Homo-oligomer: A and B are copies of this chain.
Amino acid sequence: MRPTVGIREVAERASVSPGTVSNVLNRPERVAAPTRARVLAAIDELGFVRNGSASTLRAGHSRAVGLMVLDIANPFFTEAARGVEDVISERGYALMLSNSDEDAVKERRNLRMLAEQRVQGLLVTPVDDEAPELLALRERGVSVVLLDRPGARPDQCSVAVDDVAGGRLAVEHLLRLGRRDIAYVSGPPGIRQCDDRREGARRALDGADGARLREFAAEGMNVRGGLDAGQRLLAGRRTPDAVFCANDLLALGVMRALLRAGARVPDDVAVLGYDDIEFAAAAAVPLSSVRQPTYQLGRLGTELLLDECENPDGHAHQQVVFQPELVARDSTG
């Protein structure tokens, strides 16, 4: 373990004062070229690395932003996180990741942690929009951007995808194919995305004569939940002629239940998912799905966040809503 090398040692080696080293680091244009070169050389030779906590302490804010998601293992958030990380890394920031696990208690604990770390901004898909820690963060001047929560509030930025439109797209597609007896397989109650997609589905049905929407709630928004919902759906008196699922994992499960029971997809039953994950196209019957610009969601959210961080005065809050897109594959014929 070598002795700590700080700005002081660099200064000594380059025969300048610490202040000048700091200037080289932060406002290089104010330093004469030869001096600057000497300092840079010294930095290099000594392997100096700026102490972030000291800068942060002095500056009052760090070069780190937080990202809090509901589930880091979910492909949706993973893809968004890629967008976030790309921007963060391009712009020389650090990313503090945390995972609320859809648990308000864990969320509050993590928010506390992020506050202690003095993150400069936060991208968050909150479990509890009104968590006092979240408000407190904003009160202390931390920029907050909402991710995948359509922002009701005009006083902050948000990026989201229009889930109502997605649900509508989905069901319109099924109706166009002549399906009339449609099942909607959602996740457990209380998930906003599921609710919005259902709402969209209902609206699409409004004009359609003789069409109906039946609902099945899965226990979890994963393959197993879909399998189970698929079985319940098959147990009914009449099997629907189309199934719209709140995400692709559910759809894969439903499809498996159907195929196993001898139903033909899409001839007997059309299956439609949501998210268009990588595996959708690879299913036995390639899965039609509703695609969201997930990576872009992460990217744009982060750009808005950094803009707000770096330019708090000139910043205008915006609530961005992306439109989803239908990807038709074999599972809906």
Contact = CB atoms under 8 A, between A and B. Distances in A.
A73 B255 CA distance: 25
Interface residues of A, number: 61
Contacts of A54: 53, 57
A106 B85 CA distance: 12
Contacts of A226: 282
Contacts of A255: 282
Contact of A116 (B47, B51, B78, B116): B51
Contact of A98 (B1, B85, B282): B85
Interface in A32-87: 47, 49-54, 56-57, 62, 64, 67, 72-73, 75, 78-79, 81-82, 85
A22 interface: no
A252 B279 contact: yes
A105 to B, nearest CB: 11
Copies of chain A in the complex:
2
B115 A99 contact: no
Contacts of A53: 52-54, 56-57, 62, 118
Which of A89, A115, A226, A249 neighbours the largest number of chain B CB atoms within 10 Å of its CB?
A89
Contacts of A56: 53
A192 B331 CA distance: 37
A29 interface: no
A104 interface: no
Interface string A131-144: 00000100111000
Interface in A155-180: none
Interface in A82-112: 82, 85, 89, 92, 94-99, 106, 109-110, 112
28 contacts: A1-B139, A1-B141, A2-B139, A47-B136, A49-B112, A49-B116, A49-B136, A51-B57, A52-B117, A53-B56, A53-B62, A53-B118, A64-B117, A72-B81, A75-B78, A89-B110, A89-B113, A94-B117, A223-B279, A223-B281, A252-B279, A253-B282, A255-B282, A256-B286, A279-B279, A279-B282, A282-B283, A284-B285
Given A89-B98, A256-B282, 6 more contacts: A49-B112, A72-B78, A81-B97, A95-B96, A223-B282, A249-B279
For the complex of A and B, the 7 pairs showing the least CB-CB separation, nearest first, are A284-B284, A53-B56, A97-B97, A252-B282, A53-B53, A52-B116, A53-B57
